[in-house]
Structure 1
Amino acid sequence: MKLKKFSLRTRIFLAMIMLVLMASILISAVAIYQYKEQSEDYHTARLIRKEQNIKAHIKRFLNGRYNTWEVKTENLPLIFKDEIFNIANIHKLQINLYDLEGNLLISSKAGLQNNIAAQCLNAEILNSIYNTIQLNNLSNNAEHRFVDKHKENGETFQSSYSFITDNKSKAIAIINLPYLEKDDFLTNELQEFLKRIAFAFMLVLLMAIAIAFWLSKFITKSLQTISDKIISTRLEKRNKKIEIDDTSEEISILVNAYNSMIDELEDSAVQLARSEREQAWREMAKQVAHEIKNPLTPMRLTVQNFQRKFDPNDENIHSKLNEYSKTLIQQIDTMSSIASAFSNFAKMPAQQRETLNVVKIVKLALDIFNEDYIVFTSDYDEIIAKFDRTQLIRVVTNLVKNSIQAMPENQTPTIAIHVTTKSDNVVLTIADNGSGVSEENKEKVFEPKFTTKTSGMGLGLAMVKNIVETYKGSITFESVKNKGTTFKVVFPKE
């Protein structure tokens, strides 16, 4: 499992736990290594001390009044016949004496003389003794000394070899001290230390869990606040800046960067809104100019034709004058309707929340239509809501007009208007069996200026959408080409 998949809080928590775990393992490893080093140093130093003490004891005995024999190699078995056992017992160590050629002279271990393998030192050990020189810590003199270290049956043995000298410092024998490294005491000490480490580790682990939980929560709390702010940031609304106290330097930098971005975003939003308004007014001006030019052309032609053909003595002058006037009046009415349409679209609906019966107002809006194929139904006789009376009538009439204009000539038309409630909302549907909306035009239905009709400015549905959304409602539609369209208006009762 990849660490990147975990949250920052989880990663901080795991990092703290791993840090404590690795520290405890490292401390334990160092303790074990230190134990081994200390154990080796202890046994090496202990063997040296015993060897020096035993050699000093032997030298005192050789030069003492109890020795009546001449001090030379061949007399050593006689000199130490009984004393070697006392020395070995005092120093708690086995003692073997060899002559300078490596032949066993005497041993404190009973039966060693009968062991053929132990009666003579091999050539390697003899060469090592003669070729290895070490410093004596007591006399600070260099001396021949060799230590053979090996393991048997899982136990470590050291066997030291050095020379015994007479009064004239002449070597007369080789002394061998076999030494078994017993680590019972140090092992117990190590086990006790590791137990304490384990107890301390558990205590520190619990503390680390608590600290990691608090620390991760403290760090991610600020990041969560910043994350929530970033997610809720919108270009079309005013965004609040982040205000967090007592944060780290890194979090403060991030907060300041976000707040700076909000300032820049607001400036960009203002500029964008200004640009969009200017662009909208330019488009609106183009549309108004285009729509006004349409009736002006026939008006101009009518006036010019009237000028050419005007004859005061013509007996049909009155009928011709009436015809010219009728044409001009029709075009003037067209221009008036254009002006009214643009005025209604540009004018934001006033949010006059009148308490009214939606069923009654919808019926009233449908009274202006004489088409017998318009059918109105309602689940309730009375649905009370707060809405502007005039704006609701405008919504209904525009949607019904849109359905009427969508009816093909070769089809029996049907328009069904239905009013009901759902939760705390009013639901108004207008369904027709007209020509429907093609797939490529569905996204453009509510855009200003969009129309599929040969006449009109395409502002009706855009105005309806504007009104409904002003009252925190929504308008949607479903349409199937050549089968019909159903508009659904939903707005809250309150």
Structure 2
Amino acid sequence: MNRVSLRIRIFLAMLLLVGLASIFIALVTVKQYKRQNKEYLDTRYERKELAAQKNVNYQLENTYFPAFQFNLGNIFRERIHEIAMVHDMKMSVYNLNGNLQVNSFDPWFRVFKDRMPIQILEYLKKRDSYRESITLDTGKISQVSYSYIHDRNMNKVGILKMEYIQDNSQEEEELTSFLNRLFVVYGVMLLLAVAFAYFLSSYITRSLKSISDKIQETKLLQKNQKIDVKDSASEIASIVDAYNQMIDELEESAEKLAKSEREQAWREMAKQVAHEIKNPLTPMKLTVQSFERNFDPNAEGIRERVKDYSLMLTQQIDVMSSIATSFSDFARMPQKNIERVDMVKTIKSAIDIFYEADIDFLSEQEEIFLNVDKNQITRVINNLVKNATQAIEGVDDPKIEVKITENSKEVVLTVKDNGRGIADTDKEHIFEPKFTTKTSGMGLGLPMVKNIVETYNGEVEFNSVVGLGTEFKITFPKN
């Protein structure tokens, strides 16, 4: 499965951000536009309502009829049509009981058949006015209001109903025109944002691409080049500095690893040299001594010469024995520095230098403690993982798994790879010093591993199938 590059993800994220911001701004703008338009229409209706009320009050004050409820029909019957037409609304006049007295659209025929809704009449008893907006089937909005009609003495003599039908077609056309202009502006902004996002994402990831290429080229056993990225952001510079520091530490670790392997190789070689030298020493010494004892002592001067010869050989043999002993002492494993070691942390640290390999580390616990020599455990891990990395060379989909578990009695470490495997003819020899199936190396890694593990009364086991891989299992007793 191909992963989407960071540049593409940054580019898409910026586009998504711009797109969401544009949609959000557009929605807020439309909502604000509609709110302002509604406020304008409400204010406009309030002005029309106030003007109509003034006309009604004027008619009530200047009529020849007494300003009583029973005269409302006579007072407004002739003038209500004119007032309604001037203000472009429907008007109805009710008495205080909610019975219709006259209206502007049906003045003669059904004046006594209409009555105000009871709930509105009850509402007016608590407040002086009532207003509501009703959306009609045509989509238009009907603004309806009820208010009291007062005489000169501010006594309530009737109820005035005004109904205004809002025609929003012009406002809708203005909104459509506004949205079209807005979309054009946002379209241009989106194109500019696309271009800006592309160049910005390329600029951001250019340094990361350089870092990625360098990291892919980094190998443990070669001279690695440091990264020199100029004019980069502080975050990128921090990554570069960390990588360059890691290169220095990697080279130092590689040198230490090589030095450790060389020292171990020399120790094993010293053992073998000491053994090879010691083998002939004893028979040589016995032969010389026997020659001294059995030689004819009557020969003239021969005794002194043989004695001198024997003494010289004995001295030389002692010197060779001393040399062999010195080699053997040098070859012995150094004294263990036993301490309480977090095996999980130590193993993680050890396999970090093999980051170019696909290594999976598994642990059932975050911490597993064992009383061991930390340096020796690191050497064990280094050798096993290094062998695994060499075994998976040239293998499709190479994998290495390092796993540590524990129970009440022991800690178990396994190193598993899917490499070439070990041939059956080689399995019985892999722990022998100087035995190797590789063209390089001295064949001392696995014998050293076995030696270290056995000093802790541990066990080393392995299972290998040619073409499928190898698994090494190391068991350390907790006691």
Task: Classify the TM-score, shorter chain.
Answer: 0.5 to 0.7
What's the CA shift for 1:311? 4.3
Aligned residue in 2 for 1:238: 223
AA partner of residue 18 (structure 1):
L
Q: Is the 8 A contact 1:104 1:113 kept in 2?
A: no
Please give the secondary structure, in 2, of the residue aligned with 1:247: coil
2:14 maps to amino acid: M
Aligned with 1:72 (options 46, 58, 68): 68
What's 1:324 paired with? none
1:86 to 79, 82, 107: 82
The answer to whether structure 1 residue 273 and structure 2 residue 258 are counterparts is yes
Contact 2:268 2:433 survives alignment (8 Å): no
Partner of 2:46 in structure 1?
Answer: 48
Q: For 1:317-466, what aligned pairs fall within 5 Å after superposition?
A: 438-440=425-427, 449-450=434-435
Measured against aligned partners, the alpha-carbon deviations of 1:39-81 in whole angstroms (never above 9, x if no partner) come to: 43233322221111011122233444xx444443333333333
Q: Aligned residues: percent identity?
A: 43
Q: Does 2:174 align with 1:189?
A: yes
Residue 136 of structure 2: aligned partner: 152
Query: Which residue of 92, 96, 108 maps to 1:96?
Result: 92
Matched, 1:264 2:249: yes
1:128 maps to amino acid:
Y
State the shift of 1:112 in Å: 7.7
Cα shift at 1:5:
5.7
- Partner in structure 2 of residue 254 of structure 1: 239
In structure 1, the partner of 2:8 is 10
Q: Secondary structure at the match of 2:90?
A: coil
CA drift of 1:247 comes to 1.2
Cα distance in 2 for partners of 1:106, 1:463 equals 116
Distance verdict in 2 for CA 1:12–1:112, change over 3 Å:
farther
Q: Which residue of 1 aligns with 2:291?
A: 306
Taking the aligned partners of 1:148 and 1:112, their CA distance within structure 2 comes to: 27
Tell me if the contact between 1:157 and 1:178 (Cα under 8 Å) persists in the aligned partners: yes
Letter paired with 2:98 = G
Q: How far off is 1:162 after superposition?
A: 0.8
The CA distance in 2 between the partners of 1:77 and 1:161, in whole Å, is 17
AA partner of residue 179 (structure 1):
Y
Q: Distance in 2 between matches of 1:87 and 1:448?
A: 119
Output aligned runs, 1:195-214, within 5 Å: 195-214=180-199
Instruction: Give 2:356's aligned residue.
Output: none
- CA distance in 2 between counterparts of 1:89 and 1:18 reads 54
CA distance in 2, matches of 1:254, 1:80: 88
What CA distance in whole angstroms lies between the structure 2 residues aligned with 1:271 and 1:464?
A: 17
Contact 2:429 2:435 survives alignment (8 Å): no
**Separation in 2 of the partners of 1:273 and 1:279?**
10
| TM-fit CA distance, 1:184 | 1.8
Structure 2: segments with no counterpart, 5+ residues:
300-312, 314-319, 321-422, 444-479
Max Rg structure? 1
Contact 1:95 1:107 in 2 (8 A): yes
Structure 1 residue 441: Cα displacement: 6.4
Report the alpha carbon displacement of residue 115 of structure 1 after superposing the two structures with TM: 7.1
Unaligned stretches of 5+ in structure 1? 133-143, 315-327, 329-334, 336-435, 453-458, 466-494
Output the aligned Cα RMSD. Answer: 3.6
Determine whether 1:294 maps to 2:279: yes
Residue 225 of structure 1: aligned partner: 210
Moved runs in structure 1, 4+ residues, more than 6 A? 441-444, 461-465
Deviation at 1:161, TM superposition (A): 0.7
CA contact (8 A) 1:163 1:171 kept: yes
Aligned residue in 1 for 2:22: 24
Contact 1:161 1:177 (C-alpha < 8 Å) held by counterparts = yes
AA aligned to 1:125 is I
* Amino acid aligned to 1:294: N
- Supply the distance in 2 between the matched residues of 1:123 and 1:73 (Cα, whole angstroms): 19
Q: For 1:47, give the aligned amino acid.
A: Y
Which residue identity is paired with 1:51?
A: E
Query: Is residue 2:201 matched to residue 1:216?
Result: yes
Larger CA deviation: 222-231 vs 171-180: 222-231
In 2, Cα distance between the equivalents of 1:104 and 1:32? 42
Tell me the residue number matched to 1:421: none
Letter in 2 for 1:257: A
Verify the 8 A CA contact 1:20 1:201 in the aligned structure 2. Answer: no
Cα 1:115/1:247, change in 2 over 3 Å: farther
3-state secondary structure, aligned to 1:41: helix
Does structure 2 retain, via aligned residues, the 8 Å contact 1:24–1:197? no
Structure 1 residues 107, 462: closer, same or farther in 2, change over 3 A? Answer: closer
Deviation digits for residues 377-422 of structure 1 (CA, Å, limit 9, x no counterpart):
xxxxxxxxxxxxxxxxxxxxxxxxxxxxxxxxxxxxxxxxxxxxxx
| Residues 165 and 111 of structure 1: CA distance in aligned 2, closer, same or farther (over 3 Å) | closer
2:367 maps to none
Give the Cα–Cα distance (whole angstroms) in 1 for the partners of residues 48 and 95 of structure 2.
21
Secondary structure, counterpart of 1:199 in structure 2 = helix
> CA separation in 1, counterparts of 2:67 and 2:441?
132
The Cα offsets for residues 322-373 of structure 1, whole Å up to 9 and x where unpaired, read as xxxxxx9xxxxxx9xxxxxxxxxxxxxxxxxxxxxxxxxxxxxxxxxxxxxx
Equivalents in 2 of 1:238, 1:443: separation in Å?
A: 31
